[in-house]
Amino acid sequence: MVDIKINDEIRLTDDKFLMIAGPCSVESEEQIIRVATQLRKIGVNVLRGGAFKPRTCPDSFQGLGEEGLKLLAKARDATGMAIITEVMDMDELPLVAEYADILQVGSRNSQNFSLLKKISRYDKPVLLKRGFGNTVDELISSSKYLSMNGNKRIMFSERGIRTFEQSTRFTLDISAIPVLHEKTEYPVIIDPSHPAGVNRYVEPLALGGTAAGADGLMIEVHPDPPKALSDSAQQLTVPQFQNLYTKVKNINAVLGKTVI
Ligand code: PEP
Ligand code: MN
């Protein structure tokens, strides 16, 4: 696996497991600073939070935009955490790249080849989510657009695919972990929140992905999930996350990896 240097302190290597956590969307200064501080205390080093949100319905909360990026930067200053946020659009890319330590490409943009080509010109770590209608080979092809100018700091994210199964929001494809490991040199980060769709399924999916050899997790955590402006049902409370974090640490100890 390639080493992914995120900042001077965080480097994802073979013997490490990266934990990313934070709310689906940045909603207010109070919300993001509060949850970031709590997550940092637990040991999380990378904070997630959407500022530009890819919502299925235009009536849904679209994110705070640039204000959201500024709040993420404040959370980074307050806690020392690195920040990851989604870039949806070529026009926003320079702005998002100014703030983010890791650029996130969402499931819906996984095959937006023009956007991927533009991102390839930035020397930044990228988390490339799998399109929910894409095969593993299509995901790998998308990553080649990101690396076309020499950037090797690419992480895949399996976040569930569409299948005939309707009892969860998406079907988490755990098989993608060994297949991606066999075919590529990039780490695989499991997002258990979006396939689960409800918070009680997040833990089993997270633990399954960890045991199957994922290189990290990205989990949605909100200080008060019922009040969340997006993905309210699937976000974990901080105590729920803390409980899960301990289990993830224990599984990784068995596998010889340290959670960073
Ligand atoms: C997200 O992680 O904020 C998100 C929108 O996920 P996805 O692109 O996988 O739907
Ligand atoms: Mn979400």
- Give the pLDDT confidence score for residue 35 in this predicted structure: 98
- Give the pLDDT confidence score for residue 195 in this predicted structure: 98
What are the pLDDT digits (tens) for 67-82?
999 999 999 999 999 9
Identify the bridge partners of residue 103 per DSSP, sorted by sequence position: 85, 126
Look-up of token digits 């499931």: 107
Could you tell me the distance, in angstroms and rounded to a whole number, from the CA of residue 110 to the centre of ligand 1?
11
Atom of ligand 1 nearest to the CA of 53: 5
Predicted structure pTM score: 0.98
Report whether residue 194 contacts ligand 1, using a CB cutoff of 6 Å: yes
Report whether residue 107 contacts ligand 1, using a CB cutoff of 6 Å: yes
Which helix (H) or strand (E) element contains residue 110? none
- Residue 260 CA to residue 201 CA, distance in Å, equals 23
- Level-2 CATH architecture, domain 4-259: Alpha-Beta Barrel (3.20)
Report whether residue 203 contacts ligand 1, using a CB cutoff of 6 Å: no
What are the pLDDT digits (tens) for 48-58?
999 999 999 99
Show the low-confidence residues of the chain (pLDDT under 50).
Answer: none
Nearest-CA residue for ligand 1 atom 10 is 107
Could you tell me the distance, in angstroms and rounded to a whole number, from the CA of residue 88 to the centre of ligand 2?
14
- Give the pLDDT confidence score for residue 145 in this predicted structure: 98
Could you tell me the distance, in angstroms and rounded to a whole number, from the CA of residue 105 to the centre of ligand 1?
8
Max Cα separation, the chain? 46
202 close to 192: Cβ distance less than 8 angstroms: yes
Report whether residue 86 contacts ligand 1, using a CB cutoff of 6 Å: yes
- Give the pLDDT confidence score for residue 189 in this predicted structure: 99
Report whether residue 169 contacts ligand 1, using a CB cutoff of 6 Å: no
- Give the pLDDT confidence score for residue 260 in this predicted structure: 98
- Give the pLDDT confidence score for residue 133 in this predicted structure: 98
